[in-house]
Amino acid sequence: MRKLASIVLFLVITLNSFGQKKNSPLPISHLTGDFYVYKTFHDYNGTLISANAMYLVTDKGVVLFDAPWDETQFQPLLDSIKAKHNKEVIMLFATHSHDDRAGGFDFYRKKGIKTYSIKLTDDILKKENKPRAEFIIPNDKFSTVGQHTFEVYYPGKGHAPDNIVVWFNKEKVLYGACFIKSADAQDLGYLGDSDVKEWKKSIGRVKAKFKNPKYIIPGHEDWTNTESLNHTLKLVDEYLAQKSSVKK
C-alpha cells in the first residue's frame, strides 16, 4: 500500500511539473524595482532556444524592450502584464532588426502601442520588406517615461550592424540584448550579420560609457551573471585570435 501511494505521489508530481512547463511558456522574473525580465522560446535549427527581453513599469504605463521571439506570445505577454501590474503596454523599443527583437512591430503597432527603432534598424527592415517601427530615434537618446529615465545607445557594429543597448543610470541596469552574450555561452552564436572586429571596439565603448552596472541582461540564456559583458569580450578575443592563427 505504501509503495502504491509513493507511485501515485510520484505521478502527481511529475504530471503537475509537466503541466507547469507546458502551460508556462512565458516566465517573468522580477529584476529590481520596476524592472522585469521575461523569456520566450523558439525552435532554431531543431533546438529550443530561450530569448531574454525586459519591460519597465512606469506611472504612465509599461515599456517593452524587445518583443517576444515566439509570436504566439505577443498577446499573452500583454495579458500577463495587465494581470500582474494592472497597466497597459504603451511603448516598444527594438534593439536590432532580427526577429527575436523587432518581430512584434506590426502586431504591437496595430494594438496602438508606440514602436521605436534607430534609423539603421529601420533601413534594414525596409530593405527586407518587414514591418517597421512607427518612430525613429537618434543613435544616442535619453527618454523619460513616467518616473524613469533611460538612455538608448548605439555603440557600433557587433552581433548586428544596428545593435543598441539601453542604460538606466539610477538603477545601473544595462540591457544589452544580443550585443551581450550570456556568461555561460560557449561561443558567439549566430554571426551571419556580425562584425566581430568592430564588436570588440563597440564593447570598449559600452564599458567606458556605462560604469559599474549592477545588472546586465544578455539576449539569450542565463541573465543572472554580471560577468556577461566581460565574457562577451573574451569570446570576441578568442574568435579573433583563432581567425588570425588560421590566416598565418
Predicted confidence (pLDDT) per residue in 199-239, tens digit? 999 999 999 999 999 999 999 999 999 999 999 999 999 99
Question: If DSSP codes are grouped into helix, strand and coil, which group holds residue 20?
Answer: helix
Residue 77: predicted pLDDT: 98
pLDDT at 19 over 50: no
User: What average pLDDT score do residues 82-103 get?
Assistant: 98
pLDDT at 18 over 90: no
Alpha-helical regions (H) of 61-117: 74-85, 99-102, 105-110
Angle at the Cα of 226 from the Cα atoms of 224 and 230, rounded to 5 degrees: 135
Lowest-confidence pick of 12-16, 47-51, 173-177: 12-16
pLDDT tens for residues 49-87? 999 999 999 999 999 999 999 999 999 999 999 999 999
| Torsion 151-155-156-158 (CA) sign | negative
Greatest alpha-carbon span in the chain:
72
Taking the C-alpha atoms of residue 145 and residue 143, their distance in angstroms, rounded to an integer, is 7
Look at residues 66, 118, 117 and name the one whose alpha carbon lies nearest to residue 89: 66
Between 44 and 212, whose confidence is greater?
Answer: 212
pLDDT at 21 over 60: no
Q: Which three cell numbers stand for residue 93?
A: 523599443
Taking the C-alpha atoms of residue 77 and residue 114, their distance in angstroms, rounded to an integer, is 16
- Alpha-carbon separation of residue 149 from 49, 88, 213 (angstroms): 31, 19, 16
Taking the C-alpha atoms of residue 10 and residue 117, their distance in angstroms, rounded to an integer, is 49
pLDDT tens for residues 124-175? 999 999 999 999 999 999 999 999 999 999 999 999 999 999 999 999 999 9
Residue 247: predicted pLDDT: 65
Residue 107: predicted pLDDT: 98
User: What average pLDDT score do residues 103-109 get?
Assistant: 98
pLDDT at 24 over 80: no
- Residues 6 or more apart whose CB falls under 8 angstroms from that of 49 comprise 41, 42, 43, 69, 220
Residue 88: predicted pLDDT: 98
Instruction: Kindly report the pTM of this predicted structure.
Output: 0.89
pLDDT at 3 over 60: no
**Do residues 57 and 65 touch, judged by C-beta distance below 8 A?**
no
- Alpha-carbon separation of residue 100 from 43, 51, 139 (angstroms): 12, 7, 20
